[in-house]
């Protein structure tokens, strides 16, 4: 069974989150302590505080459930994430490291609008979304932009990239993952179709991968966002990412207009 990487919360888990939601009253939906299948990025460690200042913590509702995703700031008023992270009452939190501590660096935005490109939830094709912020992010040491790749650029197999997210943790986690070929990825994922607009990273050998709650976060290679956490198997790598370079013409059109 293939699953998107966002974390679905049960009604019991939602009740456990009420006190934390109150602390984030500026945001309609928030995260708090709960038991989950996979607490952190697989094989990862805590990231250095604000070492990934472009990362966004996204909250929203979908099918009457609280959902969590990641995203990343690409201009002062646009956040990029996965299309399967679309929902109601979407809120983007910038400048976050620990969800329970030091909110002085946080910038919280409701979303003016969102743009997708014919996302197919069955095949996971075109799993990319741009979120227009209500207002502009104020760039600082804890809030920065992440560069995007050139159109149709390809990250070579065996390249070591980095992926980060909160998943089920209060603290930002990160892990280095190795890019693998699409044919190898398909084989490891029970012959799942991996298209040219997707890329894969993470091996069973290393057992390192993004996890639930990390959806929409960037796969960063050589200082650029080349992938968006999209989907994978529930128990082990590899992870499948939207290949951003295949969508750069669309991205430029949305941002410029």
The closest of 98, 103, 95 to 139, measured between CA atoms, is 95
Catalytic residue among 5, 70, 97, 127: 127
Predicted confidence (pLDDT) at residue 41 exceeds the cutoff of 80: no
Does the reported pTM lie above 0.75? Answer: yes
Residue 215 a catalytic site member:
yes
Catalytic residue among 5, 50, 70, 84: 84
Longest CA–CA separation in the chain, Å: 47
Give start and end residues of each alpha helix (H) in the chain. 11-16, 18-23, 182-188, 248-256
Q: How far is the CA of 227 from the CAs of 123, 159, 208, 222, in angstroms?
A: 17, 13, 16, 12
Predicted confidence (pLDDT) at residue 12 exceeds the cutoff of 70: no
Catalytic residue among 215, 226, 230, 245: 215
Residue 134 a catalytic site member:
no
Q: How confident is the model at residue 154 (pLDDT cuts 50, 70, 90)?
A: very high
Predicted confidence (pLDDT) at residue 89 exceeds the cutoff of 80: yes
Contact call for residues 138 and 107 (beta carbons, < 8 A):
yes
Q: Set out the domains of the chain in order of their start, with CATH numbers.
A: 3-38+52-133 (2.40.10.10), 160-244 (2.40.10.10)
Q: Which residues pair with 111 in a beta bridge?
A: 133
- Three-state DSSP state, 245: helix
Q: Whole-angstrom distance between the N-terminal and C-terminal Cα of the chain?
A: 39
What average pLDDT does the segment 156-178 reach? 92
Residue 118 a catalytic site member:
no
- The string of DSSP codes covering 54-121 is TEEEEEEEETTEEEEEEEEEEETTEEEE-GGG--EEEEEEES-SBTTS-GGG-EEEEEEEEEE---BT
């Amino acid at each position: 069974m293939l699953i998107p990487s966002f974390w679905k919360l049960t009604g019991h888990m939602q009740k456990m989150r009420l006190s934390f939601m109150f602390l984030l009253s500026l945001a309609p939906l928030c995260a708090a302590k709960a038991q989950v299948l996979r607490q952190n990025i697989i094989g990862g460690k805590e990231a250095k505080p604000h070492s990934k200042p472009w990362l966004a913590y996204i909250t929203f509702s979908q099918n009457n459930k609280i959902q969590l995703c990641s995203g990343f700031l690409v201009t002062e008023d646009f956040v990029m994430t996965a299309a399967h992270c679309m929902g109601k009452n979407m809120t983007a939190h910038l400048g976050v490291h620990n969800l329970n501590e030091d909110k002085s660096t946080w910038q919280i935005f409701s979303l003016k609008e969102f743009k997708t490109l014919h996302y197919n939830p069955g095949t996971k094709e075109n799993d990319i979304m741009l979120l227009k912020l209500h207002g502009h992010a104020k760039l600082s040491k804890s809030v920065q932009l992440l560069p995007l790749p050139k159109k149709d650029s390809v990250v070579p197999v065996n390249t070591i990239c980095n992926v980060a997210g909160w998943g089920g943790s209060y603290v930002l986690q990160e892990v280095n993952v190795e890019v693998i070929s699409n044919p190898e990825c398909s084989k490891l994922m029970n012959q799942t179709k991996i298209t040219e607009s997707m890329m894969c990273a993470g091996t069973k050998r290393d057992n390192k991968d993004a996890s639930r709650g990390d959806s929409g976060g960037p796969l960063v290679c050589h200082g650029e966002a080349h992938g968006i956490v999209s989907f994978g198997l529930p128990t082990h790598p590899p992870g499948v990412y939207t290949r951003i370079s295949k969508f750069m013409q669309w991205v430029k059109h949305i941002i410029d207009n």
